[in-house]
Structure 1
Amino acid sequence: LKATDSKDKTAETWFSVCLPDTTSSNLALYRKATASDIFYQYYPYLITDGKTSTSWWSFNTTAWVVIEFEKPQTFNKVVLNWSDKYARKYNLEISQDGENWTSIANILNGKSGINIHTFNATVAKYLRINCLTRSSTNGYLLNEVEVYYDSSLNVVPSRKQTLKIYPNPAGEQLQVTLPDSMGNSKYSQAFIYTLQGQLVKTLKISSPVSQIHVGDLTAGIYLLQITANGSHFSQQFVKL
């Protein structure tokens, strides 16, 4: 960018513009990224530029970096490319507003290089990598983050920790049975999304077994997401 004032004095600066690659299945590519802190010129946006030669670097003992999607996205796979300055322990967390966070994966054995994390499909506007324990005194150096929805994945939790819905496919009503870990919650919050990430219904569930009216939804495939006490469960269902 070059500008000239009325006295013919000029100023010039350079910057790069990243255009989204609409052909890529990587939902994080060129998305906005922010961080708790940065070291030197290792900015957070460098973890979504599609290059493993660039990185975000924090020198703190704990740190975080957040990826903001253009709109809520459905995903079930996160790939982290760490340098030799990796997080040994970290959490993957999601949020709809960038303020209230729910953990979807707790990693206790992070390693240098490629780390692939899969989980039940979830919908979120924000993804946070919350770094808790460093592998060295030189902080955290994260090269790249990739986020995907992989339809071939079928992550099955233990029976006691399964969100049960019936019938599926559903017509007018959907019976929801909460996992044991949510059964004692005063209330749980439920969200229904399309697979394109559009929120179509929000409600509160106050008992371990509840009925949800879905008769007003158009026919298609939806994702039911339940959160309570920091826990998070999701399940797809078909609306007839």
Structure 2
Amino acid sequence: MKTSSTPNKHIQAIRDKARTKRRELREKRRYAANLVKSTKKAVGSADYIASDEGFTKKNRLPPHFKILINNSKKLVFSTRSHTDKRGRLRSLSLRGRRKLFNVLLVLLTNCDFMSGQVGKPKLDHMDTTGHDALMLQYARRFGDSISSSTWYRYIAILENMEIFTSKEIKLYAEDGVTVRSEPSYKWLSKGFLRSIGVFADNIFGSIKASYQKAIKNGLSFVWREHNAPIGHRPTRGLFASHGHHSAHHQ
């Protein structure tokens, strides 16, 4: 009995396309890392946006970032172990803590501290930022091309530590069957943000000023709701009970 090889060819074509995409993303990260490293434009853990331009005035982050970055570093480097998904205690070496802090820093510099959302505010909505884009920022920030397996390993540690969480987005075509993924909704937890001092009066005042300036410039911090997970309302804001939200987040 003969069987058609068409389905196998289709699966192989999908795999080849995914493999090509992964290779292109790796090459892009390596190029970005080598560029900032060779031109000494890697900003590392300094309070600047990761870019090819380095320490330029326009890329300086708002004043509160310096304190929050330092507090995050203290928190991570004082953490000697974490509990994995199976409840087993895992030790964190000095090298591991350094890598964990670097991954966390990329998330921190993409965070709206008013809601905890990780993404990019735009004129009509807040874009969710994909892991590939975050890994590229890592390369530009540290002059080091992180592998996707290493990135996701440390993302998992941050999830286990209840610092980071995400919810997938799946877009369904009109046929109701075909599914396309979008970059997931991502947050830094309220507990973590509190632990690094986000809600302290002197820091939150700076955060609120930056937020209001962005709103005045027409930027939105509200995610688009497409097939949002059940029970999740991204336009409402995670920390509504904290009392620091404007009507924009309600």
- Do both share a fold (TM > 0.5)? no
Structure number with greater CO (CA < 8 Å, separation at least 6) is 2
Higher helix share: 2
Q: Which has the larger radius of gyration?
A: 1
Higher strand share: 1
